[in-house]
Structure 1
Amino acid sequence: MPLSPTVTFHDGHRIPLLGYGVFKVDDDRAADVVGQALAAGYRQVDTARLYGNEEGVGRALRASSVPREEVFVTTKLWNDEHAFDAAIAACEASLDRLGLEQLDLYLIHWAVPEQGRYVEAWRALIALRERGLTRSIGVSNFPLAELEEIIAATAVVPAIHQIELHPYFQQRELRAAHAQHGIVTQAWGPLGQGKSDLLENPVITGIAEAHGASAAQVVLAWHRAHEIVAIPKSVTPARIVENLASLELSLTRGELAAIDALDRPDGRGGRDPGRPWG
């Protein structure tokens, strides 16, 4: 199985375009499935403090024959840790759970605009990068106004922005802003999280049939063609391998245009980052 191509951050570091996500994977199971993903050829693992499986991910990293320097590891700061000192401590605690000395990427998981501490949290991430506890820093689930605010307040641009993104919800306004700032776009829920008929859509299934591929492989190939970093999650061994095999699939311009046309104004399946928590 080929290794994923990479995309380069504005800070010079590189991230694989296809990674492995562990949202809603129990810690006891994480070591097994992450180990399977690494053995299959994945070289990016995305976790978070909220997921409660950083220790399992760390066990997989230590047990794998893949050298640490070849695996890109991301984790995230949760909403109750946005105060400067709390954010520093949270990153240190995540590193302890993962058994690592340095992260490849640390993200603010949600902006939580009503809390009003996202700029403070961003300053903490800048300090963490300066201390060498993480190579790159970024954000996740930021409305455009809050994204622009942290850049204006600190003159530090996130390397990446992880957002819900799939063919039914293509986030074109945010992607345009990312392009202006040199921010890499990363998709969570790249296959729609099973909350829609995306993988049964006749445009997707028709393209899949033409290539002898699965619908999921077509969608992941669409992400890759647009240089959107995708982190599909599966705990099924065959699907872990199948998703990685999407790297062997290339879509035509016409096929990409047909998928581009599937964007929907009501395509969001997850939480709106601008909606108050509570």
Structure 2
Amino acid sequence: MPAFVFVVGLIYYCIIETGYISTLDWDGTSPTPTSVGFANYTAILQDPIFWKAIWHTALFFVVTFTVQTALGFVFAALLHSKVKLGTLYKVLVFTPVVLAPATMAPVFRQMFAADGQLNWALDHIGLGFLSQPWLAQSSTAMPVIMFITVWQFTGLTFVLYFAAMGQIDPETLEAARTDGASNLRVLRSIVWPGVRGTTVALAMLGVIGALKTFDIPYLVTIGGPNYSTEFLGTYIYRISIPSAHVGYGAALSILLLILALLGAIIVAARANRKDGESSV
């Protein structure tokens, strides 16, 4: 009952209140907001920045999820074998997960600045022609945000895969090796299917996480340059707080919630359908 009261009284109430605010033309402080019905939603569908943020979210999810899944799976497989200093490697891979984005952001802003450490290193190893203002141009700002995200969250993917691999029956792996299966064949035919549930869970978390992305792009690039790293989270903040269009921001928040739920449902449905096909 306490959990039920908390969920209904706080979370669901806030969602309903946000839905109501999304029908208003309100700056967040005026005592007399104006009701506009669904005008905010109509305006969103005609907003080019909204569609740009949707595209960035989709691209961001595909790239970061693919890279994190590949790296996390490989790291987990390697550290399940007999590797010296395995505990140290586990700590090093997982450490970025526990670092606060507010702590990392100034470091990466300095690293990728026009006069930062990355360009300095390129200049001193004979690759100065690759030097560029990484965060000041649209073509490279988004890849930098993706790189930071992969660096931070690959450790979480690794930990989940490492735990899932520990649940695979060792006798099955030993039998495969006895039959002459190579390590790659064991990974492809036994280990990868054995951690499929973890992959599905990571995909669901990835969809929701991509839609909620805010801290890294806002702290590193503030959604720029020229909206090239704008996400729904950063757009909602800029519209609601600095621009004081709280009703419009609430409508964006409701659409964000709907998209997150739809994304999670689609991933789960595809996973269940594949499970059904494999069982047949």
Shorter-chain-normalised TM-score: which range?
Answer: under 0.3
With structure 2 as the length reference, what TM-score do the two structures score? 0.23
Greater CA radius of gyration, 1 or 2? 2
Larger fraction in helix: 2
* Alignment TM-score, normalising by the size of structure 1: 0.23
Larger % of strand: which? 1
Greater RCO, CA 8 A, separation 6+: 2
